[in-house]
Structure 1
Amino acid sequence: MRIAVISDIHGNLEALKTAFWDIEERNADTIICLGDLTGYGPYPNEVIDFIREKRIISILGNYDAAVVEEKFNCIRPNEVNKFCMPWAARELTQDNREYLKSLPQNFVVKFQGKEIVFVHGSNRDMNEYLKENSKEAEEAMKEFSGDVLVCAHTHIPYEKHYGDKILLNDGSIGKPKIGRPNGTYIILDMQNNSLNVEFIEFEYDYEKTAAAMEEKRIHLSCINNIRTGIE
């Protein structure tokens, strides 16, 4: 079984479509999205519509929760978010708002005796950053009772082993923080009782996204991030 894991699309429809067709070519059996469909990018409704149309399994991200609640208890109350969260909340259709409300905060796959748990932030909190080699990651993995924990939220992909347990981060489809304007995702290839992780980095027409952001007068910091991959 091959599972593609995507996350942190943040309203970037162009990046999502490119990732989807790339995944199709790599013959994944299914796609799981770890949340943050909305925020920052110019197309929150279109991204949600695409996720729903393609029947992609998705969980709730912290930014999705903030947009639905229209509160800052799930995101940082900085100047960018003070613009982007209310903007995305105003843009959302009621139908898509209800869709986000319906999303679970985790998803579990059991395969060949292994338990793989998919979360947005961590197994403890959707807004917790499990950065590579961090104290938070070590603590979270001590508490984790499954075999593989797959998270997002940091926008930086990595793989880290904690004894027999594995922590994975898929990076970000639509708001990169890797120093390049490319999206990232992972494919979990599970066969013969083994797990192989493929880290994928892809290019897309980020200038198309940036132009749409400029047209909609989205915060300049978000536009610069799309063009540079630096927050």
Structure 2
Amino acid sequence: MKIAAISDIHANLHALDAVLEDISKQNCDVLVVAGDFIDCGPFPVETIRKLRALMPVMIRGNHEGYILDNIFSDKFEHPPFRALYAPGKWAATCLTTEEKDWLASLPTRAELNYGADVNVLVVHGSPRRDNEPIYPNMPDGLLEEMFEGEVRPRRLVIAGHTHRPALIRWRGMTLVNCGSVGYPIDGDTRACYAIAEWNGEDWLVQHRRVEYNRNAALKAIKKNASLQEAGPIMRFIQYLVETGTTAGMSEFVNRYIKSGDHPTPPDDMEHLEMAVIDYLRQYYNNS
């Protein structure tokens, strides 16, 4: 059994195309998509349709959750969240009703069984939360909490969320973070995915890095960063694709939320844009 595992595509279609071409040469039996395949990227519809045509094992991640919140609730309708989560709102407007319903029907975890107690668990973050990261060198106690009731020897656990490739052997299990197809943040700008193969005794894992047309992706992302589309947060995504690093996006978002200085719509989008531009200018100057 040979599994290709991809995650965190974030609607970067150029990166996805390159990875799928590489996978086609690896003689894999199964394709697994571990969530965050859309949101914060310029090609949500094209990404969904391409993946659905391949009929992979597929779950949704926290970013699909953000899009569903934009579709089925008013959670992000007020400042500052309306502007900060504009990528999800824009992606939601691009989808058909059938695609929205399909997205809502996706599970948050999947299990594959191949006999002889060989089991594969697919999650986005951890078994208990889609936004909880699994990192190398985590304290044993924390892993025990995460995997309470989930430990099975010979089990392969496929996860994403952190955008960083990782391989952890723990309690007889193999924990694999497949990295990010669309937006790696470990300083390597190439798309990343994982292949896991069962050899009869253990899971053999390799992470593969794939070059893709980043110039074409950046052109689409720049257009996507307009106030009429996904909005100012996409400026961080542009930096990420250019450098393979985050430019402190999470720090910025937390600081912006706590600032309390959030004008009402439609001025909130322009206010966020100026804040992002100012932050990135300082970041560039200090780096």
Aligned counterpart, 1:150: 158
The alignment partner of 1:25 has SS state of coil
Q: Is the 8 A contact 2:44 2:91 kept in 1?
A: yes
- Distance, in Å, in 1 between the alignment partners of 2:143 and 2:241 is 27
Question: AA paired with 1:156?
Answer: R
**How far off is 1:45 after superposition?**
0.6
- Distance, in Å, in 2 between the alignment partners of 1:65 and 1:8 is 13
Q: Is the 8 A contact 1:11 1:39 kept in 2?
A: yes
Cα distance, 1:80–1:40 mapped onto 2, change above 3 Å: farther
Question: AA paired with 1:121?
Answer: G
| Normalised TM-score (structure 1) | 0.91
Aligned counterpart, 1:16: 16
Cα distance, 1:97–1:228 mapped onto 2, change above 3 Å: same
Which deviations, in whole Å up to 9, do the C-alpha atoms of 1:181-203 show, x marking residues without a partner? 11111111113233111111111
**How far off is 1:12 after superposition?**
0.6
**How far off is 1:141 after superposition?**
3.6
Is 1:114 matched with 2:129?
A: no
- Distance, in Å, in 1 between the alignment partners of 2:171 and 2:138 is 16
- Distance, in Å, in 2 between the alignment partners of 1:80 and 1:229 is 24
Question: AA paired with 2:135?
Answer: K
The alignment partner of 2:24 has SS state of helix
**How far off is 1:81 after superposition?**
4.0
Please state which structure has a larger fraction of its residues in helix: 2
Aligned counterpart, 1:45: 45
Is 1:229 matched with 2:235?
A: no
Q: Is the 8 A contact 2:151 2:171 kept in 1?
A: no
- Distance, in Å, in 2 between the alignment partners of 1:69 and 1:15 is 26
Matched ranges for 1:89-104 at <5 A? 89-104=92-107
Aligned counterpart, 2:65: 65
**How far off is 1:66 after superposition?**
1.2
Range that drifts further, 34-43 or 209-218: 209-218
Q: Is the 8 A contact 2:5 2:193 kept in 1?
A: yes
Matched ranges for 1:166-205 at <5 A? 166-205=174-213
Q: Is the 8 A contact 2:39 2:87 kept in 1?
A: yes
Question: AA paired with 1:220?
Answer: R
**How far off is 1:124 after superposition?**
0.6
Identity %: 29
Range that drifts further, 134-143 or 105-114: 134-143
2:90 to 87, 91, 110: 87
How many equivalent pairs are there? 228
**How far off is 1:53 after superposition?**
1.2
Which deviations, in whole Å up to 9, do the C-alpha atoms of 1:63-99 show, x marking residues without a partner? 00110121669xxx87984332222222222222112
RMSD: 2.0
What are structure 1's unaligned runs of at least 5 residues?
A: none
- Distance, in Å, in 2 between the alignment partners of 1:81 and 1:50 is 27
Q: Is the 8 A contact 1:31 1:56 kept in 2?
A: yes
